[in-house]
Structure 1
Amino acid sequence: MEKAFDLVVRGGTLADGSGAPTYEADVGVKDGRVAAVGKLAGAGAEEIDARGLLVTPGFVDIHTHYDGQATWDTHMQPSSWHGVTTVVMGNCGVGFAPCRPEDHDRLIRLMEGVEDIPFPVLSQGLPWNWESYPDYLDALEQRRFDIDIGSQLPHAALRVYVMGERGANREPATEADIHAMAAIARRAAEAGALGFSTSRTLNHRTSDGQPTPTLTAGEDELTGIALGLAAAGKGVLQVVSDFADPAEELAMLRRIVQRSGRPLSFSLVQSPRAPDTYPMMLDWLSQANADGLPIRAQVAGRPVGVLFGFELTMNPFSQHEAYREIRDLPLAGKVERLRDPAFRARLLAEESAAVRGFAGSQPRAWHNMFLMAEAPDYEPTSDQTVEAIAARAGRDPAEVALDHMLSHGGRGMLYLPFLNYAWHNLDPAYEMLTHPDCVPGLSDGGAHVGMICDGSFPTSNLTHWTRDRTRGPKLPLERMVKAQTRDTAETVGLLDRGLIAPGYRADLNVIDYGRLKLHAPQVAYDLPAGGRRLIQRADGYVATVVAGQVTYRDGEPTGALPGRLLRGAQAAPRAMAAE
């Protein structure tokens, strides 16, 4: 006898994505969609006992960089380990389409520099079975994934494709250039791009140090491309910027949205260089929305922080002459030398400007650096810095850092929060997360593989903000679930998901909320060419469901690959009748 449902999640406590109070109910799934919610008599071909467990919509992460990984991998980890069932890639103006064959290496160097994905990984991993952006989508459409994937047209690739060397060198676009870019943007949106992204930050450079091609693109160029989306009648805009002159740049973004009518989101964090600027930007955001402009800010629920270690891109001793002698040794060889008393003494005696860039201008930022523990603390107090620990022990901070990195066979890591943590607390993040026009984002899943490991944002948003925070106010569970399901989905036009309601996509998480926790980041060598990347696992995800199929059980993949390329925005469903 045929079962009433393909899947029933029984007796769970639903935070359904609407923001309403949790309630107990069954969820019946049929043909990849939620068919019924309530006390269901009908049986499922498969059933999950969710009594005592939290049931949420699948998380929608709108700020990732799986543009390369999606061409060679089926599992978009680490995101899919953290309850994410839909990702949007192509953010920050970087990606691999459109691209002429002669520009392959140029775009790889840009991604290597901006997103810290090594050249050999990309050069061996990317199949390059496309040139135009629609070709790229066609290539992705042939593949199967553990989650759904949406893509955006990246400005850097577009600019180089149209302008060649002039585009890479950041020369102003001519009227003909802008017309060509607008036409490609229109075709991209019509082919299924969720939108267009650009970068205006000096943090984004090629691996040989050149700024991203889009850094100084003029308002006429950005407006022209936005009008290309407008001509297609679809697509969102995504912007990351240093906001060196926030009033001027925000005014420009406002004009672009007014002229094009396309929704826009921009990255918003507390910068250590101007820690008091973000409230002004929140006020501007409120006014823009009061004036009817569809603008949102993507914000981070914890610090954006760099990890340092002997397996990673950087460590505090990277530029020491002594360390350069052992830099290319395998990890075991490095550890052996670093534990040699004579070598250790020579290393510690050297002065170096090792931790620059993200760490600021200090030779060593011990006063902002923390020891990464097995149970990560993403809101650590000032008395937990390397400097403070060393002072209490009467030791040199460099010794404390070195000993910690040598722990666990040389796999110990240091954590340097460089955004959202200027005051050594997450009060700014709380202000941003509670602003009605902000949504969680900026996880950069799939990128920064040797420096940053923030694809776990969705898990820490739940654990820290709704359960574990002790240093300030928390957020209601229902509000945080809504923020990273329905709110993020709506931001990019995916109106068919993010709610547990009849007719919506059956993307679900079944979570042991009391047991939900993050593990410390670790290194895996599973990229093409044996490339290294940071990964981070979690406990507490009992099951993750994508389009009605269980893709993960207790954090391990089931082998099901129901995820597909998303072709553009998705309309809200019509309700299905309960069977």
Structure 2
Amino acid sequence: MTDTIPDHYDLLVRGGTVIDGTRSPRFGADVGVRDGRIVAIGDLSAGTAARTIEAAGRIVAPGFIDSHTHDDGAVLADPQMICKISQGVTTVVTGNCGISIAPLDPDTPRPMPLTLLAAEGPPAPPAFRHFADYMAALRQAPASVNVAPMVGHTTLRVTTMARLDRAATPAEIAAQQDLLTEALEAGAIGISTGTYYPPAAMASMAEVIEVCRPLTGSGAVYVTHMRDEAEGCVDSLNETFEIGRALEVPVVISHHKLHREANFGKSAVTLPLIRAAMACQCVALDCYPYNASSTMLHTEEAKLQGRVRIATSGSHPEQAGRDLADIAAEWGLGLVEAAERLQPASAIYFSMDEGDVRAILAFDETMIGSDGLPIGEKPHPRLWGTFPRVLGHYSRDLGLFPLETAVWKMSGLTAKNFGIARRGTIAVGNHADIVVFDAATVRDTATYDTPCEPAQGVDAVIVNGVLTWWQGAHSGAREGRVLSRGI
């Protein structure tokens, strides 16, 4: 609430039920916006406004923060970002899984998974030699969403090493440290690693710690797609915690999951381990609300267990949307040989247990991140459906947690963990990132067969005080900002 009530607003959201992103109980209030900020919350019936949104019967919540995206190139190539804004997402955290499009020389060969950052698909996303150049490009051509960028450790390796199938030399580690320092000075909110992937797998824990030394004392975060999310998950968690302790920085476990049937149910082991670590150091985690993952198409037999569906293929685009097993049988090949023929490619892996998904989602401190890949016509539906799926399917329909908790996992919690200031909650003085939705009807409509479908029940999305999504259509506004640490 506010003591001083202005009498005129640029935008007035009137008559709604506010869920403020703090997990506090909902309350009825009007929300007044002026100059891109929330300036009043309460009974504003005496005020006037340039535009009024009638929100009776609707939830008024903070704009959602997607904690895990690969939108690095998409925010430049497709700045309307309908796949996100239509869900109520107003901020995307980029540079995850060790991959970012800066600092990267445009002429440097880009191995998978770097090519997954291309907004229009393989083979190559845009690239920027300096992280500051990427930040400048974002500011010069704003997207419809705010961007909180990280720098990728794999990108640092690719930029500084002639060969990736070995450990980095002391000189290469020093070069990566210099690039990380430059990125932090340019405003990167942290670094991510993806030691699961071949370009970074040869980097030992000691090497990662040394490369990341500039994080210490910077206020930035260490985010990781861990080395192993299957049989070695516990070892990978312990490695993550040790890196955080060595650097004295907050760590974020990306898209926590347990791959392959032999590991189903192990969230009963990993979640208490994470809880224990949280008592001793700053640890956070995110997940997406699906039991299928999506990334590059692997060519190792162990990673092709279970059902694998092709999302994109640079060499055989006509195979997108088909199962790898069916393609292999049609071609008279084994799975590995068929996967090699489809390269460069991405895929969807149906390799997780729904019970684990629900347990991880319900874990109190789990943030929500889509991990969507904005490439091709058959992406994983999480690109379009993550946030309404949590609100509708998991919160409302299954009762996994109250709506106040769902909103907090998508907003206030994420803003706190990534150091995003004055966003993530409905509060006077905060930037006016707001979503208005119908709690009774909000749901995801994106499926594996038709993945590029907008949510239902999201009425309005406001970014920095400007109405950007209204009743199923984009307004054309591109008011997103680049968010650095504390900004």
> TM over 0.5: same fold?
yes
Alignment pair present for 1:544 and 2:461: yes
Alpha-carbon distance in 2 for matches of 1:468, 1:420: 21
Q: In structure 1, what residue type is equivalent to 2:179?
A: I
SS in 2 for 1:5: strand
Alpha-carbon distance in 2 for matches of 1:43, 1:289: 47
Alpha-carbon distance in 1 for matches of 2:211, 2:375: 26
Greater shift, 282-291 or 512-521, is seen at: 512-521
Partner of 2:160: 162
Structure with higher Rg: it is: 1
Partner of 1:437: 365
Q: In structure 2, what residue type is equivalent to 1:468?
A: D
Q: CA deviation at 1:191?
A: 0.7
Q: In structure 1, what residue type is equivalent to 2:390?
A: N
Q: CA deviation at 1:522?
A: 8.0
Structure 1 residues without counterparts, runs of 5 or longer: 205-210, 325-350, 359-414, 525-533, 572-579
- Cα contact 1:14–1:22 (8 A) shared by 2: yes
Of 288, 293, 315, which residue of structure 1 is paired with 2:277?
A: 288
Alpha-carbon distance in 1 for matches of 2:101, 2:167: 22
Give the alignment's Cα RMSD to 1 decimal: 2.8
Alpha-carbon distance in 2 for matches of 1:161, 1:352: 36
> Quick one: structure 1 residues 38 and 570, their matched pair in 2 at CA, closer, same or farther if it must change by over 3 Å?
same
Partner of 1:420: 352
> Quick one: structure 1 residues 179 and 354, their matched pair in 2 at CA, closer, same or farther if it must change by over 3 Å?
closer
Alpha-carbon distance in 2 for matches of 1:514, 1:248: 42
Cα deviation digits, residues 111-144 of structure 1 (max 9, x gap): 3368896325x46xx3x4x312222222222111
SS in 2 for 1:102: coil
> Quick one: structure 1 residues 355 and 51, their matched pair in 2 at CA, closer, same or farther if it must change by over 3 Å?
farther
Superposed counterparts of 1:359-378, under 5 Å? none
Superposed counterparts of 1:488-499, under 5 Å? 488-499=414-425
Superposed counterparts of 1:180-329, under 5 Å? 180-201=175-196, 204=197, 211=198, 213-230=199-216, 233-241=218-226, 242-243=228-229, 244-267=231-254, 268-272=256-260, 273-291=262-280, 293-305=281-293, 312=320, 314-315=322-323, 316-321=325-330
Partner of 2:305: none
Structure 2 residues without counterparts, runs of 5 or longer: 1-5, 294-307, 312-317, 340-346
Superposed counterparts of 1:334-353, under 5 Å? 353=334
Q: CA deviation at 1:460?
A: 0.1
- Cα contact 2:193–2:223 (8 A) shared by 1: yes
SS in 1 for 2:86: helix
> Quick one: structure 1 residues 248 and 71, their matched pair in 2 at CA, closer, same or farther if it must change by over 3 Å?
same
Partner of 1:484: 410
Cα deviation digits, residues 300-348 of structure 1 (max 9, x gap): 2232256569662533532344xx6xxxxxxxxxxxxxxxxxxxxxxxx
- Cα contact 1:97–1:133 (8 A) shared by 2: yes
Q: In structure 1, what residue type is equivalent to 2:368?
A: P
Cα deviation digits, residues 239-265 of structure 1 (max 9, x gap): 112244334333322222112121111
- Cα contact 1:101–1:131 (8 A) shared by 2: yes
Cα deviation digits, residues 439-466 of structure 1 (max 9, x gap): 2224325257634221221110000122
Cα deviation digits, residues 9-41 of structure 1 (max 9, x gap): 001011111111111110011111111111112
Partner of 2:87: 82
Cα deviation digits, residues 346-396 of structure 1 (max 9, x gap): xxxxx77569999xxxxxxxxxxxxxxxxxxxxxxxxxxxxxxxxxxxxxx
Alignment pair present for 1:64 and 2:69: yes
Of 458, 461, 481, which residue of structure 1 is paired with 2:390?
A: 461
Alpha-carbon distance in 2 for matches of 1:428, 1:522: 20
- Cα contact 1:115–1:447 (8 A) shared by 2: yes
Q: In structure 2, what residue type is equivalent to 1:285?
A: I
SS in 1 for 2:419: coil
Q: Percent identity?
A: 29
Cα deviation digits, residues 416-454 of structure 1 (max 9, x gap): 762432xxxx33223222323322224325257634221
Q: In structure 2, what residue type is equivalent to 1:154?
A: G
Of 460, 478, 484, which residue of structure 2 is paired with 1:561?
A: 478
Q: CA deviation at 1:82?
A: 0.5
Q: CA deviation at 1:491?
A: 1.6
> Quick one: structure 1 residues 538 and 36, their matched pair in 2 at CA, closer, same or farther if it must change by over 3 Å?
same
> Quick one: structure 1 residues 220 and 352, their matched pair in 2 at CA, closer, same or farther if it must change by over 3 Å?
closer
- Cα contact 1:285–1:437 (8 A) shared by 2: no
- Cα contact 1:304–1:454 (8 A) shared by 2: no
Q: CA deviation at 1:179?
A: 2.0
- Cα contact 2:99–2:152 (8 A) shared by 1: yes
Alpha-carbon distance in 2 for matches of 1:56, 1:458: 13
Q: CA deviation at 1:225?
A: 2.7
Alpha-carbon distance in 1 for matches of 2:180, 2:467: 36
Q: In structure 2, what residue type is equivalent to 1:270?
A: L
Q: In structure 2, what residue type is equivalent to 1:259?
A: A
Partner of 2:18: 14
Cα deviation digits, residues 499-527 of structure 1 (max 9, x gap): 11101111111112222232244889xxx
> Quick one: structure 1 residues 523 and 474, their matched pair in 2 at CA, closer, same or farther if it must change by over 3 Å?
closer
Partner of 1:570: 486
User: TM-score normalised to the size of structure 1?
Assistant: 0.72
Number of equivalent positions:
448
